[in-house]
A and B are shown apart, each in its own frame.
Chain A
C-alpha cells in the first residue's frame, strides 16, 4: 500500500472523530487543531490499528503530533 492509499483510508477513519469538520492537512495537530482528548485518541488509534492490523504503542504515539506524522508512521509500520 502506498502513502496515498494509506492517507485516503485514514482520512475516512478520522471523519467520525472530526466533530467540528476541521480541514485536514499534514500539519493538522490532534491535540490543538482537532482537540482530541485522551479517550478520543484511544478510540481513534484503535480504529487505525484495526484497519491496518498494526500496533501503535504509546511510545510511538508520543512521537506523533500531526496528521502527516501519523500517515508516515502507519506507512512505516505497514512495511515493517
Chain B
C-alpha cells in the first residue's frame, strides 16, 4: 500500500486562501491510520497472488479459502468458458477500441445479447461495460425531469448514482417496507411518470425483497418496475432468472438489470426488457454510448457462461445446501447473522464494531479464509459486517473447515 493514503493532511502551497480539496477526506484518513496503527493488516489492500480455483487462492503466500467473492456458480475456471474466451481473443483480438454504437459491436456482443434474451425469455437485451454502468445508464435515461424514482433506501451505489446522474425526483423508502413504498407512490402528483427500483437480493445482509407484493402495488399505481438481480442470477428461481422468477412475477417486471461480474464469472452488465421501444436506449443512454465496449474475449466467455447457467439445477441445489449449512453452523456457534434464515448465497455476520470486525477479518485470513469486510457507508444502519458469499464449487468439507476457522477466530477475538 502506498504511504500517501496513510498520511494526514499536509496542504501543498497554493495561491490565495483556497482550501486543499483533499481536506474533506481527513476524518477517513485518520480513521484508517488509527486502525492500521493498531497493527491490523489493511483489509482493503489484499492481493491475491495466485488463484487456484473458484474457491482457493494464495494470499500472503498462504493457501486461502475464498468466501468473499461473487463467484456464486464457480464459472471462472469452467473449461468451456475459458476455451471460448481464448478462441475469441485469437480470432477477434484483445479489444474493440470503440463504442457499442460505432465500431464496438462485434458478432460476440450480439451473441451475448442473444444468450441473455434466451436466458430471461425477454425480447430485448442490452450489454453494458459493467453492471454499474447499466444502472447508471438505464435509471438516469428513462426517468427524466418531472418523473419520480421510488427506491429502497438500501439500494446499491450504482442505483443511487443513476438517480444522481438523472433529473428525476428521487424518493427513497425504508428497506423492504411495503407500506412505506405504497404511501410514497400514492402521494406522487397525478400525471407524473413513475419508476420503482428494487433489488432481488440485497447484497449487504443477503436478504431478499418481497417482490411479489411490492411489484403488485407498483403496478396498481401505474409505475414501471426495474429490478436489479445482480446477486440472484444463475442461482435463485427455477431457471436461475432471479427472485422475480422465484416469486412468480417476472411478467410484471419492466426492466431487469444484471451483471457478468458475479455468477457469470467475468465482467460486464446488462438490461433486459420486453418494452416495445427498448432499442432506442442504444442511442440515448450515455453510459452505453460514451464508453468502449467489452473486449471480444469477455463477451465470448459471458455468452458461454450464460448458456451453461441455463442448465445448472444440480449446482444450484448444492449452493443452497452450502448456504444453509454455513448459516446454521455460524448461528449454532453464537454469531449474529444478517438474516434469521438463509435467503441467498450471502451470509452476513454482524460485528460489534469496526475494530473487532477488522481484527476478526485478520484472524480469519491468518486461519486461511478470505471473507469480505463491509463497513459504513456501504452497509445499512452503520453496521460492520463480515460477508460470506458461497460458491457452488465449495465442497461440504470446505464448509466444515470454514466453520472451524470461524469458531477459533471468534473465540480469539472474543466475539463468541
Contact = CB atoms under 8 A, between A and B. Distances in A.
Q: Do A and B come from one complex?
A: yes
Interface of A: 37-39, 42-43, 46, 49-50, 53-55, 57-60
Given A46-B180, A50-B183, A58 B171 contact: yes
A37 B376 CA distance: 12
Given A55-B187, A57-B169, 13 more contacts: A38-B377, A39-B382, A42-B172, A46-B174, A53-B187, A55-B169, A55-B188, A57-B148, A58-B163, A58-B169, A58-B170, A58-B171, A58-B172
Q: In terms of DSSP, what is the predominant structure of the interface of chain A?
A: helix
B82 interface: no
14 contacts: A38-B377, A42-B153, A42-B172, A46-B173, A46-B180, A49-B184, A53-B187, A55-B148, A55-B184, A55-B187, A57-B148, A58-B170, A58-B171, A59-B170
Contacts of A49: 183-184, 187
- For chain B, the bracket of interface size reads 10 to 19
Nearest to A61: B170
A59 B146 CA distance: 11
A55 B187 CA distance: 6
Contacts of A57: 148, 169-171
A55 B150 CA distance: 11
B191 to A, nearest CB: 14
Contacts of B171: 55, 57-58
B122 to A, nearest CB: 30
B169 A59 contact: yes
A12 to B, nearest CB: 20
Contacts of A39: 381-382
Interface in B346-402: 377, 381-382
